[in-house]
Amino acid sequence: MVRKFLVSCLGNADAVFNLVWAQLSELGWTGSNTVVVIVGDGAEWIWNRASMFRNRCEILDFWHAIEHAWGFARLCYGEGSAKADQWVHRIAQDLRAGKVEQVISRLRRLRPGTPEARESLEALIRYYTDNACRMRYDQYLRLGYGIGSGAVESAHKQIIHARFRQAGMRWSEAGARRLLALRLLLLNDNWALLDQLRMISLAA
């Protein structure tokens, strides 16, 4: 990793993606020769907005993919059973090796015994099929790309939970926005922007 930066805002998904674009542009990114890696949980709104980056690599979070497998395994083989553990372990190995098509083929041959398990299996097959092009984990690992969103979830805890959700805290929207801006300056070590924030605050 050459440089890490964090973005956050009180707004919708479009606002966050626009912030990422602005930050990349500020760092000199042109989009022509740099791949933007986008790790998501499979939600369509993420992939739809990711299309703003022409040269991109979309990756389905590996651990979300495995968690979906666990959901079916618990229903089919029993909560906490050795069979469920072995089954998910094999799924994880095969997905990590880039064998998503083989995994989907095996899933289609299963015949669960309960309506709940059958419904869960159908959802799992649909989830893997819809995201198969984003599950080439063997290739991503060879390229050095991260295959999990743990860093993003950790950043959320670092930015928001550690400062804004301590016991007894209450925030106005204006106060939260100002402190969030300062929090990002601290975590990004970008105090040069402080004067700009002062100007924005005075203008507001």
Asked whether residue 106 is assigned to any structural domain, the reply reads yes
Q: Are residues 25 and 36 in the same domain?
A: yes
Q: Are residues 74 and 136 in the same domain?
A: yes
Q: Are residues 55 and 155 in the same domain?
A: yes
Asked whether residue 109 is assigned to any structural domain, the reply reads yes
Three state DSSP letters for the chain: CCCCCCCCCCCCHHHHHHHHHHHHHHCCCCCCCCCEEEEECCCHHHHHHHCCCCCEEEEECHHHHHHHHHHHHHHHHCCCCHHHHHHHHHHHHHHHCCCHHHHHHHHHHCCCCCHHHHHHHHHHHHHHHHCHHHCCHHHHHHHCCCCCCHHHHHHHHHHHHHHHCCCCCCCCHHHHHHHHHHHHHHHHCCHHHHHHHHHHHHHC
Q: Are residues 32 and 47 in the same domain?
A: yes
Q: Are residues 72 and 136 in the same domain?
A: yes
Task: Specify the pLDDT at position 204.
Answer: 44
Q: Does 109 have pLDDT greater than 80?
A: yes
Q: Are residues 54 and 67 in the same domain?
A: no
Q: Are residues 156 and 121 in the same domain?
A: no
pLDDT-wise least confident of 33-42, 60-69, 86-95, 178-187: 178-187
Asked whether residue 6 is assigned to any structural domain, the reply reads no
Residue where a domain stops, chosen among 105, 122, 141: 141
Task: Specify the pLDDT at position 139.
Answer: 98
Asked whether residue 133 is assigned to any structural domain, the reply reads yes
Asked whether residue 5 is assigned to any structural domain, the reply reads no
| Residue 32 or residue 142, greater confidence | 142
Task: Specify the pLDDT at position 165.
Answer: 72
Q: Are residues 76 and 134 in the same domain?
A: yes
Q: pLDDT tens digits for 127-152?
A: 999 999 999 999 999 999 999 876 66
Q: Does 122 have pLDDT greater than 60?
A: yes
Task: Specify the pLDDT at position 16.
Answer: 81
Residue where a domain stops, chosen among 109, 141, 173: 141
Q: Which amino acid appears at position 121 of this protein? A: L
Q: pLDDT tens digits for 40-57?
A: 999 999 999 988 888 899
Cα distance between residue 142 and residue 150, in whole Å: 19
Asked whether residue 113 is assigned to any structural domain, the reply reads yes
How many independent structural domains does the chain possess? 2
Q: Are residues 27 and 50 in the same domain?
A: yes
Q: Are residues 66 and 56 in the same domain?
A: no
Task: Specify the pLDDT at position 200.
Answer: 46
Residue 127 contacts by C-beta under 8 Å, 6 or more apart in sequence?
A: 42, 65, 68
Task: Specify the pLDDT at position 190.
Answer: 66
For residues 78-101, give the mean pLDDT: 97
Q: Are residues 132 and 156 in the same domain?
A: no
Residue where a domain stops, chosen among 101, 122, 141: 141
Asked whether residue 8 is assigned to any structural domain, the reply reads no
Q: pLDDT tens digits for 153-202?
A: 666 666 666 667 777 778 777 777 777 677 766 766 666 555 555 544 44
Q: Does 81 have pLDDT greater than 50?
A: yes
Task: Specify the pLDDT at position 202.
Answer: 40
What would you report as the CA-atom Rg of the chain, rounded to the nearest whole angstrom? 21
C-alpha count within 13 angstroms, C-beta hemisphere, residue 68: 21
Asked whether residue 4 is assigned to any structural domain, the reply reads no
Q: Does 78 have pLDDT greater than 70?
A: yes
| Residue 180 or residue 24, greater confidence | 24
Residue 20 sits in which domain range? 13-60+148-203
Q: Are residues 174 and 119 in the same domain?
A: no
Task: Specify the pLDDT at position 199.
Answer: 46
